[in-house]
């Protein structure tokens, strides 16, 4: 059984979401294209190796009030929040260390989160003890999209 805690807090300057005691600043005011903020600033990434890859992420807004269709659902006013898009090394070359981190969310006006995509993959250099010649240290992610809404 997986037990998850989830809390949303809102003030005049930001919307923060706490998931299992990890607090993320998802949206800030004012909503302006290319506005940036440190969305993971409440995370203690220095004392936890599992969270180290979340350090220093600089979130930014895409074009506000953009019309988008997500999973066949048209939305007149959305904003994309680009959280991270980083590649270290060459993921196609399994002989060297490589890492991919990608994270993006889309919010629709008067609805909320309608799309979320996150991926984190890392590869270690070859080792003679490994059958395939490289070690896939971690490869996980999630993609969520709205199915329908009743507005």
Q: What is the pLDDT of residues 72-84, one digit of tens each?
A: 999 999 999 999 9
Q: Which two tokens stand for residue 137?
A: 């240290």
pLDDT at 137 over 80: no
Q: What percent of the chain has pLDDT over 70?
A: 89
Q: What is residue 49's predicted lDDT score, i.e. its pLDDT?
A: 77
Q: What percent of the chain has pLDDT over 90?
A: 65
Residue pair 113/106 in contact by the 8 Å Cβ criterion: yes
In 3D space, the residue among 30, 26, 32 whose CA is nearest the CA of residue 8 turns out to be 26
pTM of the shown model: 0.86
26-30 average pLDDT score: 96
Kindly report the average pLDDT of the chain as a whole number.
89
Distance of CA 53 to the CA centre of its chain: 11
Q: How many residues does the chain have?
A: 151
Q: What is residue 46's predicted lDDT score, i.e. its pLDDT?
A: 86
Q: What DSSP designation does 48 have?
A: -
113-135 average pLDDT score: 77
What are the tens digits of pLDDT across the range 32-50?
999 999 999 999 988 877 8
The 10 Å CB-count burial string (b at 16+, else e) for 61-89 is beeeeeebeeeebebeebbbbbbbeeeee
> What span, in angstroms and rounded, lies between the C-alpha atoms of 42 and 19?
12
pLDDT range class, residue 129, cuts 50, 70, 90: low
């Amino acid at each position: 059984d997986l037990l998850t805690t989830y809390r949303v807090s809102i003030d005049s300057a930001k919307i923060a979401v706490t998931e299992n005691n990890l607090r993320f600043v998802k949206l800030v005011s004012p909503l302006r294209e290319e506005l940036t903020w440190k969305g993971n600033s409440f995370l203690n990434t220095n004392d936890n190796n599992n969270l180290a890859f979340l350090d220093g992420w600089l979130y930014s807004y895409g074009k506000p009030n953009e019309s988008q269709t997500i999973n066949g659902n048209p939305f007149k006013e959305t904003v994309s929040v680009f959280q991270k898009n980083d590649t270290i090394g060459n993921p196609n070359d399994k002989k060297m260390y490589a890492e991919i981190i990608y994270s993006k969310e889309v919010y629709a006006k008067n609805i909320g989160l309608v799309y979320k995509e996150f991926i984190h993959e890392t590869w270690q250099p070859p080792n003679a003890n490994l059958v395939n010649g490289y070690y896939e240290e971690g490869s996980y992610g999630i993609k969520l999209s709205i199915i329908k809404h009743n507005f």
